[in-house]
Structure 1
Amino acid sequence: MFVAIANTPRDYAWGSASAIAELLGTVPSGGPEAELWLGDHPGSPARIVDPNAVGGSADLAAWIASDPRSALGDRTRLPFLMKVLAASAPLSLQAHPTAEQAREGFERENVLGIPLDAPHRNYRDAHPKPEVIYALSESFDALCGFRPLDEARLVLVALGLDELVPRLSDLSGLFAWLMGGGADVDDLVARVSDFAAARSSGIRLSEDEAGALAISGAIETVRTLSAAYPGDAGILSALLLNRVTMRRGEALYLPAGNIHTYLSGLGIEVMTASDNVLRGGLTPKHVDVGELLAVVDFTPGPPPWLRPNEVSPQLGVFRPGNPDFVLAHVAGDAELDLSGPAIALCVAGSMTIRGARSESTIMRGEAVYVTPDERRMTFFGRGEVLLATTP
């Protein structure tokens, strides 16, 4: 069964005024449009376009609750959430918990009597939130995970923060000190912000090309974050992180504990269905540095690129090794077997999808929920589809 779904973009302040509307072919709201949720998460369940097709249920959460067998097959919940994300300003500096941390945190805050919708609540459900981000715009800028230490040293020295270099031997201690703020941290933030403002982001400060790119990227990061959140301690913490520019069609996998933020761009996110976010700065929302430090993985290393399994020239499948989701990119005639439910979003042209029981044609901006009994799906048409499903 193919069930047409839609939703209204969430209006977080960092959202783009036009990117989601342009992708979907809709009229912009006039305000920021940051995230379009396609799933059954209670924070913003997808609307069912024709409720009569599913017994009158108005949204995906209501339909799954009323008829889980038809909607989910043998599963007890929809394990993934798909989002369209459009950032015109940096998101909060954040990380997500493991499954165990999510369960413990959710139970702890329930015992404390913190309402689920309270602004200061950290854990809004009992699930982890690993995620894949796939770039739809020609470039998508992000910070993700701690840089290799040699690169961090190079960046700190180049930006005039030599006194922080010895502290790299205790990365978690340095990060905690920076996030804690105070007069000394404020002085460093002001110094590095002034340094970045006085220099071109493209200046060549190293004979090594990779080093020069890391330094110029760090300067641009400081300029971007200083403009959005002047004086925020997260400006310094961001220098310890990998800066990545994804090109259209590239993806990252951000597992539990990966400290990250998105700076700008349009993309598709697929994640375990959760809204658990621990924030440490670069945001007017609730910040809990202590809880963030408890979930962050301080292991330095390269950016967490996720390469697709090229099933055919028309089909690539991103498999992060997570039990809850995979992301498929379809650009032409292709076939894909389903092991569970799926959500397909057409991002260009049109595509006809034929399953074991039914068929649907979706145009740019249209999305469908696919029940597990469709099993093997055949795609044909001149379009482009992103599809989230189970491994």
Structure 2
Amino acid sequence: MFVGITNSPRDYAWGSTTAIAGLLGYAPSGKPEAELWLGAHPGSPSVITDPAQVGGHTTLLDWITASPEAALGAPLGAPLGAPASPAAPRLSFLLKILAAQSPLSLQAHPTSERARTGFVLENAAGIPTDAADRNYRDPFHKPELIFALSETFEVLCGFRELREIRGILGEFRALDVASDNPQPGALDALERRLLGDDALRDCVDWLLRDGRGGDSGEVAWLVERVVALAESAAELAADGAILDYPLELATVRDLARAYPGDPGIVISLLTNRVSLKRGEVLYLPAGNIHAYLSGLGVELMASSDNVLRGGLSPKHIDVDELLEVLDFTPLPVPYLPPVVSSPGVSEYHPDVDDFVLVHIAAEAAAASGADGGVPMRQFTLTGPAIAICTAGGFLVAGAGASVALKRGESVYITPDEGTLTFAGVGDVFLATTP
């Protein structure tokens, strides 16, 4: 069954006013449009365009709750537990179109085990699930991936090697020495904490605890000094100076404008700074510190709302819990390469059972055969799916039905449709389960 779905973009303040509308071909609302959610998450479940098709249910969440076997298929839809249990019938993924005009918070997500434990403990403590100081709003993990749609998509993700961090601080040292009023003590405080056995953990702990205490203290001085030196670097670069870390310096300036005085400005220097090119994908597993800075992309994640923030935000930060969740192991940038299963069909398989992203792409030139036929792409479902067309249009046919899918339209697909054939030209992103 193909069930048309739609939704209204979330108007978070960091969202772009034009990017999602421009991608999907509708008139901008005039407000920030940060995320378009496609899924059954209770926070913003997709709206069913023809409720009569599914027994009158108006949202995807309502339909899945009422008829899990029909919506999810027997293996996923069997009523295995209560609604709060991770084994309850549910759609395991959430697909988003995300457009960041300004930086999001530094954050990380828990493992499944940590999420289940934290959810039970906070329930036992009587903390309302919608409380501002709640860490675990559900018992699920939230790994995610981002596919860059804009020419570049700017990200902070994962911790750097210590030698790289010391190289960045060396640049700040040189800027400080060359300044009219050198203040080496501000950088000394950070460098001392980079010498211990657990340097990254110690640095983040110190920056967040001391830095959220007000305008006094070592961290406040360090943040102020780092920003001032980054601003001086911009003037030097304008005069032709060659800098070793121009992107990191620019990040400090951008973050300072968005979150003045925030200790996350300094934490950014401990993390990898990545400019994704269009079509590149990052996978962000449990414990990976990250922040989206700017750009348009397709985001796919496990369906959860568990976020541990670590700066660049006025919202609740639980330092103790964040330190338990974060993975402080310096790792390479977590690019996720595609598996090209057939021409024009690229699959992105992270190391979790919750989701797979499939990019269906077809150009008009592919139809240059003697019969002048339309390009055809195929993908076989093993679970429920959501597809959104971001360019062109396709006729999508399955085992029992078909649907015309145009730019800006999205559809929920039950797993009994089996092998899907996409006939047309353009781009479709399909989220499903492994």
The 5 Å alignment of 1:166-205 reads: 166-168=192-194, 169=196, 170-182=199-211, 183-200=217-234, 205=242
Mapped to 2, the partners of 1:248 and 1:344 lie a distance apart of: 20
Q: 1:37: which partner in 2?
A: 37
Q: Does 1:302 align with 2:332?
A: yes
Q: 2:84: which partner in 1?
A: none
Q: Which residue of the other structure, out of 405, 416, 422, is the alignment partner of 1:379? A: 422
Q: 1:8: which partner in 2?
A: 8
Mapped to 2, the partners of 1:256 and 1:387 lie a distance apart of: 23
Corresponding letter in the other structure for 1:351: F
The 5 Å alignment of 1:1-391 reads: 1-73=1-73, 74-75=75-76, 76-160=89-173, 161=187, 164-168=190-194, 169=196, 170-182=199-211, 183-200=217-234, 205=242, 212=244, 215-332=245-362, 333-391=376-434
Q: 1:209: which partner in 2?
A: none
SS of structure 1 residue aligned to 2:40: coil
Corresponding letter in the other structure for 1:37: W
Cα deviation for residue 26 of structure 1 reads 1.8
Cα deviation for residue 204 of structure 1 reads 6.1
Asked if 2 retains the 8 angstrom alpha-carbon contact of 1:157 and 1:165, the reply is: no
Mapped to 2, the partners of 1:326 and 1:273 lie a distance apart of: 13
Q: Deviations over 1:133-189 (max 9, x none)?
A: 111111100000001222111112112336533533421111111121241001010
Asked if 1 retains the 8 angstrom alpha-carbon contact of 2:189 and 2:218, the reply is: no
Unaligned runs of 5+ in 1: 207-211
Mapped to 1, the partners of 2:314 and 2:275 lie a distance apart of: 25
* Change beyond 3 A, Cα 1:284–1:6: same
Cα deviation for residue 131 of structure 1 reads 0.3
Q: Deviations over 1:69-123 (max 9, x none)?
A: 1110120321111111110010011000000110011111111111122222111
Unaligned runs of 5+ in 2: 77-88, 174-186, 212-216, 363-375
Asked if 2 retains the 8 angstrom alpha-carbon contact of 1:179 and 1:237, the reply is: no
SS of structure 2 residue aligned to 1:381: strand
Asked if 2 retains the 8 angstrom alpha-carbon contact of 1:140 and 1:266, the reply is: yes
Asked if 1 retains the 8 angstrom alpha-carbon contact of 2:109 and 2:325, the reply is: yes
Asked if 2 retains the 8 angstrom alpha-carbon contact of 1:2 and 1:359, the reply is: yes
Asked if 2 retains the 8 angstrom alpha-carbon contact of 1:156 and 1:164, the reply is: no
Mapped to 2, the partners of 1:346 and 1:65 lie a distance apart of: 26
Q: Deviations over 1:175-219 (max 9, x none)?
A: 11112124100101000101111223967656xxxxx3xx11110
* Change beyond 3 A, Cα 1:204–1:71: farther
Asked if 2 retains the 8 angstrom alpha-carbon contact of 1:72 and 1:372, the reply is: yes
Q: CA RMSD in A?
A: 1.4
**Identity of matched residues, %:** 56
Cα deviation for residue 337 of structure 1 reads 1.1
TM-score with structure 2 setting the length: 0.86
Asked if 1 retains the 8 angstrom alpha-carbon contact of 2:65 and 2:90, the reply is: no
More off after superposition, 380-389 vs 192-201:
192-201
Asked if 2 retains the 8 angstrom alpha-carbon contact of 1:351 and 1:363, the reply is: yes
Corresponding letter in the other structure for 1:359: S
Mapped to 1, the partners of 2:65 and 2:260 lie a distance apart of: 45
Asked if 2 retains the 8 angstrom alpha-carbon contact of 1:317 and 1:329, the reply is: yes
Name which one, 1 or 2, has greater alpha-carbon Rg: 2
Corresponding letter in the other structure for 2:16: S
SS of structure 1 residue aligned to 2:310: strand
Mapped to 1, the partners of 2:234 and 2:260 lie a distance apart of: 19
* Change beyond 3 A, Cα 1:336–1:204: farther
Asked if 2 retains the 8 angstrom alpha-carbon contact of 1:278 and 1:288, the reply is: yes
SS of structure 1 residue aligned to 2:138: coil
Mapped to 2, the partners of 1:388 and 1:193 lie a distance apart of: 41
Asked if 2 retains the 8 angstrom alpha-carbon contact of 1:348 and 1:384, the reply is: yes
Q: Deviations over 1:342-364 (max 9, x none)?
A: 00010001112111111111111
Asked if 2 retains the 8 angstrom alpha-carbon contact of 1:156 and 1:162, the reply is: no
Mapped to 1, the partners of 2:408 and 2:155 lie a distance apart of: 25
SS of structure 2 residue aligned to 1:42: coil
TM-score with structure 1 setting the length: 0.95
